[in-house]
Structure 1
Amino acid sequence: MRIAETVTFGGSALNRAAELRGDSAGMAARMVDPVAGFLPIWRGKPLFDGPEQDGLAWLPPGHSVVAGAEAVFLGLEGDAPRFACDISDWEPAEIPDTLGAFLDPSQQRHPDLPGQEVFAELRAAMTRLTPRDAELAATAKAITGWHESHGFCARCGQPTDIAMSGWQRDCPACGTHHFPRTDPVVIMLITQGNKVLMGRSPHWPEGMYSLLAGFVEPGETIEAAVRREVMEEAGVHVGEVGYLASQPWPFPSSLMFGCRGEALSEKITVDPVEIADAIWVSREEMMDVFAGNSQRLKPAREGAIAHFLIWNWLADRLD
């Protein structure tokens, strides 16, 4: 796909400057550089600049909101270092019931930020961000989430220490090095003739369908994962498989491999343990879905790679 890297969270060419991560003295100097910016993350929510959440809010070095928090080096924007800080220990006046839900609509304001800055759900704001802000936000959310859930050594169980500017955790007890986890997931545009295979999870809103997807297993190729997942979920045999595009998906830490596949049969046998339903949708009906004219189906969420793949299938822009 010629436009593969235009998917949300992809294609901004962020300079991650990995060669600088091990330079402790140099990194300390960059953290007090007046042009440095710090992005606070509160319980998975980035800080946005304004209620429209169309840009990230970068705080200067020494700001009270990030003071004392561990900083993870995200990379360089020109000469300006960019860092992420997890401030999840902060307790706002109210904790909404929707916190941690699939899509949390609540916003939080920090008392030390009297302007328009708000903590908000990235999933809802991702399509309004520039490609660079989207990549930075996805990286910040994923890496801070990894630190939050990997504070102890998987080998000996002892607490670990942050190293390499946030891109490594070291165990002082047994010497094991731990690195950020990324989970590979296949998501597939399975077609037969003029139709595409769609499925839905039981907890999704009524009428919401998307492409089938699943985790790649150890020792498995991407192509094999596509065929296995489609067979497990919908009972459909798949022949030829090809790669189309990828998308970092920090919910919490996946890398989505968008693929296409040719179905060898139309018969669907749903595994209710895997999904709630699967259907074939014609190109004509899918065009109505995306136009908002369907009474039966809702489109895949904008910004997700499923939406991206289906849209480009409708536009005949798949290589």
Structure 2
Amino acid sequence: MDFSFVDAPLDRAEHLRTDSAALARLWPEARVLLLDARGDAAVDAHGGPPALTGTAVGQRPSSAVFLGLHGEQGWFALPAADAPPAVPAQGFVDLRSAAAQWPAREATAFAQARAVLHWRDRQRYCGACAAPLAWARAGWLGRCTGCGIEHYPRTDPAVIVAVSDGSRLLLGRQGAWPARRYSTLAGFVEPGETLEQTVMREVFEESGVRVRSCRYLASQPWPFPSSLMLGFVAEAEPDVPRVNDELEDARWFEAEAIGLALDDGHPDLQLSPVSSISRWLIARWYAMRSSAG
């Protein structure tokens, strides 16, 4: 896929999460990703992912989360605050920057690490009885020390949609985005709702445009902080867009404008970054529209 956080994934080796002896054997030569409280990752002197091993860290901290295997090598995520002082970081990089600069495997593992550590940092107590959680399954399970309820990492499904009326593409922008930035429309799935229903509801809520049909294409983990973006294409009525408090603007764009923006040549339109599934959906729509003449 031509977007980030999906290529070269680790073998999550879920069967090893309860095998303490196997995890102990993996730790000395394991690859360790250090993340700070903001979810940024430690870098080496060149801005790349450091070749940090378990041996360099020392004894495996209880907060280390087993991410999986690359070949025979284990990979772990560790909060930087729990690393010993002898393991200094040369700096930290955010996930979006790493997606553009790092090799795919390291960037994909960074996304996985960011999501699970964010969940652990914000899920320290039971939502039912407020007792502290005790971590199990190599960091992937929080078990309540009071009532015994098990808590698992949260992922929030959201649709993201390239909506077309046949010749134009519908894009919207939020007021907090950089000037001229537009993107495909997106929204979270609600309880008891199908993905197709979410597409229709979210597009209409945000733009007033009525979707006739839609089709799923691909997905992207989006740990900002814990989403899974489900990419769709949709055909819609050529309604005049209107916006509510969710978007600052929504409008139809002709294929010519989209083509210029994809080449960074449009004076008034800037698209989503290349790391995102939004950009991939836009580029795919433009390519198919161009090939259709």
Same fold (TM over 0.5): yes
Task: Specify the alignment match of 2:68 in structure 1.
Answer: 75
Q: Is the 8 A contact 2:161 2:231 kept in 1?
A: yes
Cα displacement (A) at 1:112: 4.1
- Please point out which of 304, 310, 318 is paired with 2:276: 304
Rounded to whole Å, the distance in 2 between the matches of 1:58 and 1:153 is: 36
Match of 2:267 in 1: 295
Corresponding residue to 1:274 among 220, 225, 246: 246
CA RMSD of aligned residues (A): 2.1
Cα gap change, 1:13 to 1:125, in 2 (>3 Å): closer
Residue of structure 1 equivalent to 2:78? 85
Alignment of 1:123-138 (within 5 A): 123-138=96-111
Contact 1:45 1:120 in 2 (8 A): yes
- Return the offset for 1:296: 0.8
Matched with 2:88 is: 113
1:239 aligns with 2:212: yes
Q: Contact between 2:221 and 2:229, CA under 8 Å: does it hold in 1?
A: yes
Q: Secondary structure at the match of 1:127?
A: helix
Residues 10-42 of structure 1: per-residue CA shift (max 9 Å, x gap): 13242110011111222223223xx21111111
TM-score, normalisation: structure 2? 0.92
Picking from 241, 257, 260, the partner of 1:285 is 257
Question: 8 Å contact 1:40–1:66 — kept in the other structure?
Answer: no
- 1:173 deviates by 1.0
Do 1:72 and 1:83's aligned partners in 2 also have CA atoms closer than 8 Å? yes
By how many angstroms is 1:133 displaced?
Answer: 1.4
Structure 1: gaps spanning 5 or more residues = 91-109
> Percent identical across equivalent pairs?
39
Tell me, yes or no, if the aligned pair for 1:71 and 1:165 is still in contact at 8 Å: yes
Normalising by structure 1, what TM-score? 0.85
* Counterpart-to-counterpart distance in 1, 2:58 and 2:87: 7
CA 1:58/1:174 → structure 2, altered by over 3 Å: closer, same or farther? farther
Counterpart Cα distance in 1 of 2:105 and 2:228: 18
Match of 1:257 in 2: 230
Distance 1:74 1:298, change over 3 A: same
1:316 and 2:291 matched: no
| Counterparts in 2 of 1:22 and 1:205: CA distance versus 1, 3 Å | same
CA distance in 2: counterparts of 1:13 and 1:68, whole angstroms: 24
CA offset at residue 62 of structure 1? 4.0
Contact 1:142 1:252 in 2 (8 A): yes
- Which structure has the highest helix share of the two? 2
1:16 corresponds in structure 2 to 12
